[in-house]
Chains A and B, each alone.
Chain A
């Protein structure tokens, strides 16, 4: 099983600031098999980024993804009030698909 470790666990930032979230895999993940999700309370996860770099339909340009091998990053260039939420990375290189434990982006 591929273990995904996200850091930090919590990010305390103000609106307008830049957020950088990390996802480190226990082994190689194909760049086409890495995604980022956002989850808000009472809602299912929503796809933000797929295949490491690509924004899903309707996702604003302030969200971007990068990385390769076993290190991946989600960047939010300038936080909007609606961006404060929990973010998960997910891989599908190996079954079972796995998620990281999540990074909470909270208002400072």
Chain B
């Protein structure tokens, strides 16, 4: 059974940093592209960042470029999101998402999410 378990969320002050982790199991982690998706009541669901299976190619939504870094450790089966320069509008539930094969929707899997709150 595929499992994705996020951790690292919490309360942080504006301008602060946080690193999210996502531990994957039950599948060949190194064979799948991965994403971070966040959700807020106001803005809904938003793709924040994506990374190729090989960890080389990465993608970011404009609002986080230069502040967030997505990375992965295929030996530890772990996905990361290093967040810096955090803003109140980054407050959200952050999901780790495994893509289906070859970026497809079919076969995707979602974690339960980790909550990030940016507030003074």
A residues adjacent to B (C-beta < 8 A): 35, 44-47, 50-51, 54, 56, 88, 90, 92, 95-102
**Interface status of B27 (Cβ within 8 A of chain A):** no
Name the one of A45, A54, A98 contacting B106, with C-beta atoms under 8 angstroms: A54
**Interface status of B75 (Cβ within 8 A of chain A):** no
Q: Which residues of A contact B45 (CB under 8 A)?
A: 45, 88, 90, 99
Closest to B4 in A: A44
B interface secondary structure, majority: mixed
Known: A96-B47, A96-B59, A99-B44. A45 touches B103 (CB 8 A): no
Q: Which residues of A contact B108 (CB under 8 A)?
A: 47
Q: Is B46's CB under 8 angstroms from A44's CB?
A: no
Q: 11 A–B contact pairs at CB < 8 A?
A: A35-B105, A47-B106, A47-B108, A50-B100, A50-B104, A51-B106, A56-B106, A92-B105, A95-B59, A99-B45, A102-B44
Interface size class of B (residues with CB under 8 A): 20 to 34
Closest to A54 in B: B106
Known: A51-B106, A95-B59. A44 touches B47 (CB 8 A): no
B residues adjacent to A (C-beta < 8 A): 35, 44-47, 50, 59, 61-62, 95, 100, 103-106, 108, 110-113
